[in-house]
Every structure is written in structure tokens, then in C-alpha cells.
Chains A and B, each alone.
Chain A
Amino acid sequence: MEENKSNTQGEIKYTAKDFASSQDVRWCPGCGDYSILAQMQRVSPDLGIKIQDFVWVSGIGCASRFPYYMNTYGFHGIHGRAPAIASGVKITKPNLSVWVASGDGDLLSIGGNHFIHACRRNIDLKILLFNNRIYGLTKGQYSPTSEKGKRTKSTPFGSVDYPFNPLSLAVGSGATFIARSLDRDAKHLKEMMTRAGKHKGTAFIEVYQNCNIFNDGAFELLTEKETKSDNVLVLEHGKPMIFGKNNDKGIKLDGLTPTIVNLSDDGYSVNDLWVHDEFDKDTFRAHIISKFTELEGFPTPIGVLRQELKSTYEEDLHQQIKQIKELKGEGDLRKLLFSGSIWEVNGN
């Protein structure tokens, strides 16, 4: 039996330790997953959710071992199907807080269909994408987020296919909370996890995660002190888009075209810059931001790209059941079985 302090009705103050299971963590030493696990265990006590109401669901891959290490209910599923399994869990018991841990192969390749449909339905799932742009557990093949030309075991001459942009995909699929963070930025990651945890609806966080064995340094520019500020744009609601070592670069939106301007010598002021609006109803601006990573010279945005409050699938489903019960009355088995054209045989 694992220890826990959650078996009473009252308010219980959990600690990060309560969320650590007794299982030995078996990721490679130095893996970015350790940080993600640690931050999740740190923020979980403060989400206002009883420990027994958490469910972690995963598919297959390094990231998908995550549920074993959380002292909550957990379901290590099959490759790609975590969002579908999680949907069943959540729809049946909507009071549960259901989280999905997944990797770029699991969520975007074999499980791509389930991911976009979970987002489309706005099922209240928190989906964490551990994006290391490589297949780790199968020992180093390129993934659907690997950059074109990537040389891996399965692409010794470089990959010829274009990668997915996970944020664009999430925007296009209708996720109602979309964010990005970095395994190495503990504070930011915790903030994103907390906000996702408090969001109602499909919450998606892409976490850039370093695979130090098969794709080491994939996000170095974004995490190393010297290069970080020139390459990362921290999105904050209501704030202009500013980045750079000396906070001297900004992003301006000309029509539908984002441009980088230099605040120190171009004659631009902060007032000219694009002010980020998480609640922007028009998803096309979020889509433009999601594409920064594909634009030459643009910084990689982290933070909350967009959010929207609307009813969830399970809310609407249970509401419909409730309405129909009110309209037709609670199901009566006798009435049901004896419905339609019935006739009596008096026997012989």
C-alpha cells in the first residue's frame, strides 16, 4: 500500500511527495522527463483536486511511463490511444481530473486522430505533449515533429517529410487552452501546468523536452542562458510581444504579416507592437503566432497561445441526458420492453 492522506472529506494539504508513487523512475539519467514529472508533482497539490480524483492516462513511449510515477489513478494504454481512453474515463465520471501524458510519436503520429477529435469535442482533458522531436523508446527514428532533413536511424540520408506544427494543429482542431513551455524552465512550466489544470475544456501544453540520448540539444537555443532571450518570446496576456537580450526587439502585425522591429533604433515604440490577447475569438491570430517557429529570425513563443471558455462535451452530454429524463421521465424498464406494437397470446 502506498501512503496517502486523502481519505477524508475535509480540506487536505497535499505535498509534492504525496503525488510521487513508490515506483522507481526509469527514464535515462538526464532526460527532460524528470523535470516535467517534478513540476507536475509540485503543482498538483495546489489545483484544489482530491488526489483520488486525478487520473493519468498515457499511450506508448518514454513519456507514457509517466502515470506509473504519479501516486494517482493511472492507465498506461496502448500506442496513440490515450486521448480515446481518457475520453471514456472522463465522460463516464466527469468529476475526475483527467490528464494525458504523451509524446510526439504517440500523440501526433499513431494517435493523431484521437488528439484532434478530443480537441474538437472540447472534452475536459489536460494533454501534455512531451515533444523531443525523436522516437526515444524505439531507439532513435525521426518523429512527426522532427525537422525536415533530420538524420536518424531510419533516415540516414535525412528525412524528406515536413513536420507537424503541434500548436497550429491544436488551434485548427479547436483546443480551448493551448500553451507551450520548456522542460528546463521549471517556473514557467509549473505556471502552464497550473493554468491548464484550472482550465475547463481540452487543455494542450506542448513541452519542449530534451532527449539527451537520441536528440540532445534540440532546444538548446531556447534553454541556454546566452541564446535564450534572443530566441524565446514569452507570451503574456495583454502585454506587447517583446523579446531580446535587452528587451529591445518586438513583433508588430502588419495586416496578416508579423514583422520583427527593433525598438532601440527603428523608431518604433512599444505602442506599435502586437499586444497578445489569449482570449482572441478569431483563431487566425493564434495561428499566426503558432507559425513563428517556421519564420526565419522569429523567436519561439512560449506561454498561453489562446484560451476560450465554452461548454465541454461531457457537460453537454450529461445535460442532454438530464433534459431527456425531465422530458420523458426516468427510464422505466417495463415501459421500454412493452413498447411498440404488442399483442397478447392467451395460451392453450
Chain B
Amino acid sequence: MEKTTLDLNSVTVRFAGDSGDGMQLTGSQFTNTTALVGNDLSTLPDFPAEIRAPAGTTYGVSGFQLHFSSEDIHTPGDSPDLLVAMNPAALKVNLHDLKPGATIIVNTNSFDAKNLRLAEYNTNPLEDGSLQGFNVVHVPLTQLTSIALENSGLSAKEIARSKNFFALGMMYWLYSRPIELTLKWVEAKFKDHPQLAAANEKALKSGYYFGENTELFTTRYQVKPAKLQKGIYRNISGNEALALGFITASVKSGLPLFLGSYPITPASDILHELSKHKNFGVITFQAEDEIAAVSAAIGAAFSGALAITTTSGPGLALKTEAIGLAVMTELPIVIIDVQRGGPSTGLPTKTEQSDLMQAMYGRNGEAPIAVIAASSPADCFEVALEASRIAIKYMLPVMFLSDGYIANGSEPWKIPEPDDIPKIEVNFRYAEEDFQPYKRNENLVRPWALPGTPGLMHRIGGLEKANITGNVSYDPENHEFMVRLRAQKVKNIENDIPPLKIIGDEDADLLVVGWGGTYGAITEALENVRRTGKKAAQVHFRYLNPFPKNTGQILKKYKRILCPELNMGQLSKILTSEFNVVIESFTKIQGLPFKTSELMERIEKILGEKNNGRK
């Protein structure tokens, strides 16, 4: 059959099925291949907290969304152009997100009475006309996979589990992607199980050939490579980039990397990734609890390691007291908080930006620390380096805020040349002469004198320290002096970070202010709005404590300031109190990232208001 190939600039697809259907794997494979093809891309895995929720139910649906393009993109896409629905529940959960007229590929075999009942469908949506307006492609995926694997020697159950690869093969055909990368992956993955390797290969190829031969598809699509900057790229998730960033910081500082961690979603992948790289001397200490994890990191910092601890909101709450200890003892540690929906256990697998206040202020006493946030998956690499540099240079705890969205999401990363990454300077104290544990340099930083160094024996701890000697002191004036000094030390970092940069129209009336993982959505929304000829400016914070020196100056320049956040307006409150400016807070607390369209709508509304001046 003659088939046409259509060029597209940009496509958003979503794979959805039971949490046991292998949707995350299917999505990652499609992503890696798409990266190799050279598209710019952004992903959004979305899965339930339950490992294997009851099959067929709506709350057990696991999804993986991928936006890929021949142009520069910043988000995983608002609404899919195509949905692969492995069962009725997957269709039901995802239908309302789709673009009008979107294509839906359904596994017709799963639309039986039982699955329809589990998904709470009274009638079969494939038959009742409710999908009118969509391009529904009926594929008997389960059946086709069993026919393909008839003689594979696998059990019926194992064969059924391979249907995701059939679907993947079909998708590769549909979007004109090569299957070789996944074939290589299959070969490596099932090295010791030739039968499974052969079956997966067969399923993938059968899916591909099915696409080619079936009359269900008359058109296939092509998305040309994006015009990315010259360089060598890989696709990377936030957690992976973060782990690589800290290994790089360890190499560049010459300090052993010590990770104290207790498993918690969505931060555990950092522990997994770092555990793999022991040949870099990485020490991963899976502690008995969150408190032990950070306490061990503090001990490791005392011993001279680049010490970090990874967690999410509930774990950060537990680490609070120990972070205060690191403030008091002035030891360098990096606390990584991969934020998720809260409070309490909240939404473990969903994203949110609601730990900002906790990061900034969540400790007893006056205990300021440096706070820094990553804005995209790849940005986690650079922020890891920067957090390490600041912690070591200023001898203090640094909070690194990531979130579930950028931790699990991925994008192409232009790999930096290792030799171009600057060294992180470390100055251990060895000289005995004039040594005082709390005597400071010009940045108010105390010396890092490691146990084992002759002649520098000293004691540190959580009780208030006398200036210079570090002896315990209850002196009222010393206490006030030290509290202010520790705050000043954090403040001094502002002289050592780049100024805030305005993106877009400097002379606009509206400034959109963001921080962390909302960067992509805000950027894309503003690009779209500005393309229509309207003016708007954007700033995005990496440094949240201290703020860049020019923050106040920039904020005061604009008539209106919009601050979109995935919380109840935490940055808005901080900026308002710090800089005495009026901020319009735009918030969403659904465990999901912003859609570009919701942001555009809000921005356009403001720009459309006639009297939009507050000055």
C-alpha cells in the first residue's frame, strides 16, 4: 500500500497503561531513540505511588508523555497529539488532556467487559460514539503480539507482557524512527535470557512491520532534527544530571563524594545513580533514617568529604535540626530536596514547589543557609557544581531545590567538555600558627581543619560559639554578634553569583518572575506571547538565598509582576517582604506542572487589561 510521509515541526505523544504495562520503559525507549534522531525533546513521566496498583483501575494508570520537535522546546507539551491507550482505564484518565482531533491508538483486546467495568465505563467508548472527533485507531495489540510470539516458547503471560514492545515498534514506524537503538538495548538487557531477547526483538519488529503493512495507517510522520547548538548531546533526566554533577564536583574539588541518604520518592534515583559510580570513590551510605543520613553527611564534612544528602519534603522536615547543626558548626554540606506534593506524605510521585519556605526558613533559631534551585533536567548538572562550590567556599549548608517534574523528566543535554569545567578550590587548614577554629577570612569563612591534622585539635558543636576561639559561649552580645555574622556570611555570597538576567523585552510593562522547574513552561508561554508582538520580560531565579544583587532594582522597574508557582505563592511572599513590591501570584497545586496555555492565558489577560499600571 502506498503511504505518504508528512513533515511535522512538533509532536506530543503519550503512552498510557497499567502500572505493570511497562509504559515508563516504552516511553524512555521512544525518548532515547528520538534524542538520537536529533529532535529537541522534553518528557513528563507520570505514575502512581503504588508499585502495582490493581490492574485495570483508573488509579493504576501510568503515563509517559514526550514532546519532540525540530525546534527549540522547553516543555513536555500541554496536550498530546497522540495517545497510546493500553486499556480502558488509560483511555478514561487521559482523554480530557488530548488535543481536539488527536489520534488515539487503543488496544482493542483490553476493551472487554471486565476492564470496562474496572474503568467504570457503562458502555464501550469504542462503540458508543463518545470518541467522535478523535481519530481512533483500533489495534488488537494483545492478539497481534501473541500471534507474533506464537513459537517463542514463552508463556501466555510473558507474551502478554511484550505487547508494549509491539506498540513501540508501531510508534517507531509511525514517526519514522529507527528501531536499532532499542534492539541494542534488548540485546544488552536480556544478555542472559536469549529467549526473552528474541521475543522482545520479534515483538518490536512485528509492531514496526504492522505499521508498514496495515491499512489502519495511511500516513506516517517525520520530525526533522532540531537546530541545536553544535556539540555532543545525550538525553538526561534531572536526577541523573544531578548525580553526574556531584561526581564532577568531587573530581573538580579533589574531595571524596559522600552521600548520606534514606530512600524517598522522587529522590531515590540519585542514590541509585551515585551507587553505580564507586570507581570515582563515591561513598553512598544508605542510612537508617533521614536524620542519620544528614548527620552522617555532617560527620563526613568534618572529615573532609564533599558531603551531600538527598531527600524530598517529608525527609527535609526530619533533617531540619541537623541542618541547624551544620549552620552552627559551619561545615559544608549540600542538602538536595526533590520536592513533591505535600503536606505530610502528600503526593509522593507528583511535582510541586511547596518546600521553598521550608528551605529558606524551616529551622529553629536564626539559621539562614544558601538556597539554589535548578530550572530544568539538564540544569541540575550545573546547579550541583554551583551548590558544591558555594558550600565549600563559604563553609555552610547549601539547599539544592529540585522537583519531581525535572527529576524524572528529561531533555537533550549538551555535554560539557570536562576540561572546561573550572576547578573547585579547597583550602584545608594545616598551619598550626595562629590557628583558631572560628577565626575568619575576608568572606567571614572559618578554616576547615580536618581530624588527623597534627596540632589543630579543636571541638565544634551545636552550642553557641565564641567568635574566633569557637569555645562555648553564653555571652549575650557574642550571641547577637554571631547570629548576625552567620547571616552576613550567607549574604556575602551575593558578590560571587551572576546578576539576574532579563529575558525578553526589558522595556515591557510586565515582568514574569519564576524559579526552579517552571522555567520551561514560563519561557515557552512568553515566547509564544511575544511572537504575537506583545511585550513581556522574564527573570528566572537560580539563586534564592541570597538573591542576586540586582533583584530589587529589576523588580522595581516593572509596572506589573506576575509570579507563577506550583504552591500557594511562596516566592511571591518572600519577594514582597524582601523588596517591598507588589506581586501578582499565579498558582497551581495539582501535582502537575504548568501548561504553557494556562500561563499564556494569564499573561495575555494582564497584557490585555487597559489600565495595567500600578505606578
- Digitize A8-47: 1 where CB-to-B-CB distance is under 8 Å, 0 elsewhere: 1000000000000101000000000000000000000000
Are B455 and A88 closer than 8 Å at their CB atoms? no
Which residues of chain A have C-beta atoms less than 8 A from B416's C-beta?
337
**Quick one: closest A residue to B37, CB to CB?**
A343
Min C-beta distance of B230 to chain A, whole Å: 3
Are B230 and A96 closer than 8 Å at their CB atoms? no
- Digitize B463-483: 1 where CB-to-A-CB distance is under 8 Å, 0 elsewhere: 100000001100000000000
- Digitize B241-264: 1 where CB-to-A-CB distance is under 8 Å, 0 elsewhere: 000100110010000101010000
Contacts A92-B299, A341-B32, A345-B38; A73 near B228 (Cβ below 8 A)? no
Are B453 and A81 closer than 8 Å at their CB atoms? no
Contacts A52-B456, A345-B38; A85 near B283 (Cβ below 8 A)? no
Are A1 and B283 closer than 8 Å at their CB atoms? no
Are B418 and A81 closer than 8 Å at their CB atoms? no
Q: What is the number of residues of chain B that contact chain A, defined by CB distance less than 8 Å?
A: 73
Partner of A87, one of B248, B285, B418: B285
Are B452 and A93 closer than 8 Å at their CB atoms? yes
Q: Cα distance A345–B234 when bound, in Å? A: 11
Are A85 and B299 closer than 8 Å at their CB atoms? yes
B334 adjacent to chain A (CB < 8 Å): no
- Digitize B389-423: 1 where CB-to-A-CB distance is under 8 Å, 0 elsewhere: 00000000000000000000000000110100000
**Quick one: closest A residue to B435, CB to CB?**
A1
B307 adjacent to chain A (CB < 8 Å): yes
Are B279 and A325 closer than 8 Å at their CB atoms? yes
A328 adjacent to chain B (CB < 8 Å): yes
Q: Cα distance A334–B35 when bound, in Å? A: 20
Are B457 and A1 closer than 8 Å at their CB atoms? no
Partner of A81, one of B291, B305, B307: B291
The A contact surface, by secondary structure, is mixed
Of the stretches A149-157, A273-281, A316-324, the one at the interface is: A316-324
Are B460 and A74 closer than 8 Å at their CB atoms? yes
Which residues of chain B have C-beta atoms less than 8 A from A8's C-beta?
454
Which residues of chain A have C-beta atoms less than 8 A from B454's C-beta?
6-8, 50, 52
Which residues of chain B have C-beta atoms less than 8 A from A328's C-beta?
279
Which residues of chain B have C-beta atoms less than 8 A from A317's C-beta?
283
Q: Cα distance A327–B291 when bound, in Å? A: 34
Min C-beta distance of A216 to chain B, whole Å: 27
Are B248 and A345 closer than 8 Å at their CB atoms? no
Query: Which of B291, B299, B321 is packed against the most chain A CB atoms within 10 Å?
Result: B299
Q: Cα distance A118–B301 when bound, in Å? A: 19
A347 adjacent to chain B (CB < 8 Å): yes
Are A2 and B457 closer than 8 Å at their CB atoms? yes
A257 adjacent to chain B (CB < 8 Å): no
Which residues of chain B have C-beta atoms less than 8 A from A52's C-beta?
451-457
Which residues of chain A have C-beta atoms less than 8 A from B463's C-beta?
76
Min C-beta distance of A342 to chain B, whole Å: 5
Which residues of chain A have C-beta atoms less than 8 A from B303's C-beta?
88-90, 92-93, 96
Number of A-B contacts (CB under 8 A): 222
Q: Cα distance A2–B296 when bound, in Å? A: 28
Partner of A92, one of B228, B283, B329, B457: B283
Contacts A4-B455, A74-B459, A334-B418; A85 near B295 (Cβ below 8 A)? yes
A330 adjacent to chain B (CB < 8 Å): yes
Which residues of chain A have C-beta atoms less than 8 A from B292's C-beta?
81, 84, 87, 113-114, 117
Are B38 and A343 closer than 8 Å at their CB atoms? yes
Contacts A52-B454, A52-B456; A87 near B299 (Cβ below 8 A)? yes
In residues 50-79 of chain A, which contact B (Cβ within 8 Å)? 50-58, 60, 67-68, 71-78
Contacts A95-B452, A333-B418, A337-B418; A88 near B295 (Cβ below 8 A)? yes
Contacts A92-B258, A348-B227; A76 near B462 (Cβ below 8 A)? yes
Are A85 and B298 closer than 8 Å at their CB atoms? yes
Q: Cα distance A328–B299 when bound, in Å? A: 29
Contacts A52-B456, A337-B416; A345 near B288 (Cβ below 8 A)? no
Are B460 and A75 closer than 8 Å at their CB atoms? yes
Min C-beta distance of B300 to chain A, whole Å: 4
**Quick one: closest A residue to B301, CB to CB?**
A88
Which residues of chain B have C-beta atoms less than 8 A from A341's C-beta?
32, 35-36, 181, 234-235
Contacts A1-B435, A331-B279, A341-B234; A88 near B457 (Cβ below 8 A)? no
Are A89 and B300 closer than 8 Å at their CB atoms? yes
Min C-beta distance of A105 to chain B, whole Å: 16
- Digitize B313-324: 1 where CB-to-A-CB distance is under 8 Å, 0 elsewhere: 000000001101
A346 adjacent to chain B (CB < 8 Å): yes
**Quick one: closest A residue to B228, CB to CB?**
A345
Min C-beta distance of A16 to chain B, whole Å: 15
Which residues of chain A have C-beta atoms less than 8 A from B277's C-beta?
331, 336
Which residues of chain B have C-beta atoms less than 8 A from A90's C-beta?
299, 303
Q: Cα distance A177–B94 when bound, in Å? A: 59
Which residues of chain B have C-beta atoms less than 8 A from A331's C-beta?
247, 251, 277, 279-281
Are B299 and A89 closer than 8 Å at their CB atoms? yes
A344 adjacent to chain B (CB < 8 Å): yes
Chain B residues in contact with chain A, CB under 8 A?
Answer: 32, 35-36, 38, 181, 225, 227-235, 244, 247-248, 251, 256, 258, 260, 277-283, 285, 287-289, 291-292, 295-305, 307, 321-322, 324-325, 329, 415-416, 418, 432, 435, 450-463, 471-472
What would 4 more interface pairs be, CB under 8 Å, given A88-B305, A329-B279?
A50-B454, A91-B258, A333-B247, A333-B251
* 28 A-B pairs with C-beta separation under 8 A: A23-B459, A23-B471, A23-B472, A56-B459, A57-B299, A73-B458, A75-B461, A76-B459, A76-B460, A77-B325, A81-B295, A85-B295, A88-B260, A92-B305, A93-B452, A96-B452, A113-B289, A113-B292, A114-B292, A117-B287, A331-B247, A331-B279, A334-B418, A336-B280, A338-B234, A341-B181, A342-B233, A343-B234
Would you list the 4 A-B pairs with minimal beta carbon distance, nearest first?
A88-B299, A76-B461, A347-B230, A331-B280
